[in-house]
A and B are shown apart, each in its own frame.
Chain A
């Protein structure tokens, strides 16, 4: 509830720029309740935006990036279930800020930018007099993106070479062959 109030206040602060996106025009009591009851707490639009931010931090190359590894789903789950309301607010408000500033200063949605524009945008967001909440948001998302990436099945299997059942322990092996 507090988050909603905070968002409303932000909308007021930004001169009432906040208007409901088209997909939200069909909100009903039932659909909102269904969403609240699910494991996610971000709106579909916020979730999509988070996915693109994570993808900007760890982009797809010849190997999978954050988005295809579902890192945004991990972030949302951890923030919702394992962190306090302060972190939850920081994530939600930060996503709003990114959406709002991108439109105001760049004239387009973050999700509509290319990788170079997104990278520049996120770097600017942090360097150009960002407030504490924006810094908190940036660090939270970056830290969790790295964690989500390095604890993913892809990373643990192909990079860290994790084995559930190693079957041995060797105390001293030359470093070149140990990986």
Chain B
């Protein structure tokens, strides 16, 4: 159902800007209620399965065996830093030159401009937030109080989890509420050893299996989506022809398409949202065709902005009018401020000499997780908030590569088992600050004539203290498990590479200090909803995508009720 370029074709009930993880959900929920919905995607179309060109390629089939050509690296210093950017995935990432931006401070902006956005590429960890997260800003005196609590979101977490398909254990932890889980992935011997060692030493620390968006026990609802059980290929970022993990492409977008109510328009770069001062609401959007550069307007009763955190800020900032001279809905002046991210700089690794008679078989698209244990119920350290961490153990083989000839070959053909390598990475909550900002550059434009985004995000003293604590605590925990050769590392990576940028259009109770109300609705322009990362008041330690999905489904439910009441 691609759009007909007629005047009548430009009027819709709802417009969704973006087709990534939250935009896909907006499309699915809006069309479920029968709303004629236009989904605008700035990138090209990527159809499930048929547009995954490397999805079933063996490693030896790649021209450079998955190594990046030097030319690609040199032309793309930013995106080349991303762990998931390699020969098999370059087509799903934005190249540096394609969408320039201004780094007031170093920021590695990793983007996926295509139908499905970064939902094709995400790491698929899906941990719920708890009240210990939602109450954080109020308790610790930063940002503003969240206008919602866990109870507001809990049923929507369940709702999206059932459809997306999440695997995990019911661990019964206050800081990481249980969800609607399919059976968890197994831990290996070394991971179970660590789990037991931590349980015996600490009452307040747990090693659990990560909860992730993989189908381990697909239900009817997943078969109806055309998805099948995860096949443990662990090449997810190339697109999964089985639909084993959740993406917009495999799930929400085709589901919305089936209703016959969705019009998907790829190659549509949203310039701004149109605000009608007489009506006192938004009436539509201005779209630049990515190929022809021609601008077209589309109209709708409600608009969902799901362009991904940074670009959602960009669109709102660029949507100026007499009523909103500094950006749509920006009466508070906080638009583009209080942006934050997750601190992924700190890692720790070691060796484990036990369980040498065992190893793993097959592959696992997931790894164990250590939920936050610092400052959980009260302030107890010299830094605010805390961190979660991943944990992963594995064994690899090695060969003696001395010499040349038949002996070398014999050695290569008979690899020996190495011991277990273990490692953890910190996922630290960062504090949103007023001077952590995104804004529009006064002169520089992108290839579509839209001002370039200036990004000014940075680590602060709290982040440094938190990293020090992570090193200390995890060294102690690793020692408790008998791990040897413990090494800590600071990658010094710039913000952005975590790909968890959040905020800028935060939710809050007070229109004077926030952009969005408790329904993700612009306080000052009620028919515009923001339900992606831009809405986040604080960052927590959990991977944020599941929360975006739940916020989106909840906001659409509210929007549709308001439309029926003629309030929108």
The minimal Cβ–Cβ distance linking A139 to chain B, given in whole angstroms, is: 11
> Closest residue to A54 on the B side, CB-wise?
B404
Of the stretches A9-17, A44-52, A79-87, the one at the interface is: A79-87
Asked if A169 is an interface residue, CB under 8 A from chain B, the answer is yes
With a cutoff of 8 Å between Cβ atoms, the chain B residues found around residue A169 in the complex are 185-186, 232, 360-364
B residues 145-187 touching A (CB-CB < 8 Å):
185-187
Q: Are B188 and A149 in contact (CB under 8 A)?
A: no
Contacts A81-B64, A159-B413, A178-B360 aside, 15 further interface pairs with beta carbons under 8 A come to A57-B404, A57-B408, A58-B412, A77-B64, A81-B71, A84-B70, A146-B401, A159-B412, A162-B58, A164-B56, A164-B233, A166-B232, A166-B233, A168-B232, A172-B355
Q: Does B63 contact A (CB under 8 A)?
A: yes
B231 within 8 Å of A (CB atoms): yes
In the bound complex, CA of A59 to CA of B413 (Å): 12
Q: Which residues of A contact B355 (CB under 8 A)?
A: 172
Near B by CB (< 8 A), chain A positions 75-103 give 77-78, 81-84
Cα distance A172–B409 in the bound complex, in angstroms: 30
User: How far does the alpha carbon of A81 sit from the alpha carbon of B186 in the complex, in Å?
Assistant: 40
> What's the Cα separation between A59 and B406 when bound, in Å?
6
Contact A162 B409 (CB under 8 A): no
Cβ–Cβ contact B233 & A173, under 8 A: no
Q: Does A167 contact B (CB under 8 A)?
A: yes
- From B60, B71, B357, B413, contact of A156 by CB (8 A): B60
B191 touches A (CB below 8 Å): yes
CB distance from A45 to the nearest CB of B (A): 22
22 contacts between A and B (CB under 8 A): A57-B405, A58-B409, A149-B412, A151-B59, A159-B413, A159-B415, A162-B58, A164-B233, A166-B361, A166-B363, A167-B231, A167-B232, A169-B232, A169-B361, A169-B364, A171-B360, A172-B188, A172-B355, A173-B359, A173-B360, A174-B357, A178-B359
A74 to B58, CA, bound (A): 16
Residues of A near B187 (CB, < 8 A) are 171
Q: Chain A, 132-156, contact with B by CB distance < 8 Å: what is the 0/1 string?
A: 0000000000100011011111011
Assuming the A-B contacts A57-B404, A59-B406, A169-B186, are A153 and B58 also in contact, with contact meaning beta carbons closer than 8 angstroms in the complex? yes
Query: Which residue on A lies nearest to B216, using beta carbons?
Result: A169
Contact (Cβ within 8 A) A156 B412: no
Q: Is the CB of B361 within 8 A of A178?
A: yes
- Interface segment among A18-26, A104-112, A115-123: the answer is A115-123
Q: How far is the CA of A84 from the CA of B73 in the complex (A)?
A: 11
In the complex, which residues of chain A have a beta carbon less than 8 angstroms from the beta carbon of B59?
151, 156, 162
Contact B404 A56 (CB under 8 A): yes
A71 to chain B, nearest CB (A): 11
**Range of interface residues on A (Cβ < 8 Å):** 35 or more
CB pair A82–B412 under 8 Å, yes or no, is no
Q: Is B558 an interface residue (CB 8 A)?
A: no
Q: CB-CB < 8 A to A147: which residues of B?
A: 65
Contact between A168 and B64 (Cβ–Cβ < 8 Å)?
A: no
Binding site for A on B (CB under 8 A): 56, 58-60, 63-65, 67-71, 185-189, 191-192, 231-233, 355-364, 401, 404-406, 408-409, 412-413, 415, 417
Is there an interface contact between A119 and B405, defined as CB atoms closer than 8 Å?
yes
How many residue pairs between the two chains, A and B, have CB atoms under 8 Å in the bound complex? 121
In the complex, residue of chain A having the shortest beta-carbon distance to the beta carbon of B61 = A153
Q: Does A165 contact B (CB under 8 A)?
A: yes
Within 8 Å by CB of A65, from B63, B364, B409, lies B409
- The 5 A-B residue pairs whose C-beta atoms are closest, nearest first, are A171-B186, A171-B188, A169-B364, A169-B362, A166-B362
Q: Which residues from A are CB-within-8-Å of B58?
A: 153, 156, 162, 164
Smallest beta-carbon distance B87→chain A, Å: 10
Which residues of chain B are within 8 angstroms of A122 by Cβ–Cβ distance?
404
* Inter-chain contact A151/B65, CB cutoff 8 Å: yes
Contact call A173/B361, Cβ cutoff below 8 A:
yes
Closest-CB distance, A39 to chain B (whole angstroms): 9
Tell me the bound Cα distance from A162 to B358 in angstroms.
Answer: 19
A61 to B356, CA, bound (A): 32
Chain A: minimal CB distance from B292 (Å): 33
Q: In the complex, A159→B63 CA distance in Å? A: 21
CB distance from A143 to the nearest CB of B (A): 9
Kindly list chain B residues whose C-beta atoms are within 8 Å of the C-beta of A56.
404-405
Whether, in the assembled complex, A175 has its beta carbon less than 8 Å from a beta carbon of chain B, the answer is yes
Nearest A residue to B235 via CB reads A164
Residues of B close to A170: CB separation below 8 A:
186, 360-362
Counting chain A CB atoms within 10 Å of each CB, the highest count among B60, B68, B71, B186 belongs to B60
Nearest-Cβ distance from residue B212 to partner chain A, whole angstroms: 12
- By CB atoms of chain B within 10 A, which of A119, A151, A168, A169 has the most? A169
A82 & B69 in contact (Cβ 8 Å cutoff): yes
Given known contacts A56-B405, A153-B58, is B362 in contact with A167 (CB within 8 Å)?
Answer: yes
Q: A166-B363, A168-B362, A170-B361 are contacts. A151–B60 as well, Cβ < 8 Å?
A: yes
User: Once the chains bind, are A168 and B361 in contact (CB under 8 Å)?
Assistant: yes
Decide: A175 near B359, CB < 8 A? Known: A78-B64, A122-B404.
yes
Query: Which of B63, B64, B232, B404 is close to A142, meaning CB atoms less than 8 Å apart?
Result: B404
**If A146-B401, A175-B358 touch, does A82 touch B192 (CB 8 Å cutoff)?**
no
The verdict on A33 contacting chain B, using a C-beta distance below 8 Å, is no
CB distance from B189 to the nearest CB of A (A): 4
Instruction: Return chain A residues, CB-CB under 8 Å to B408.
Output: 57-58, 146
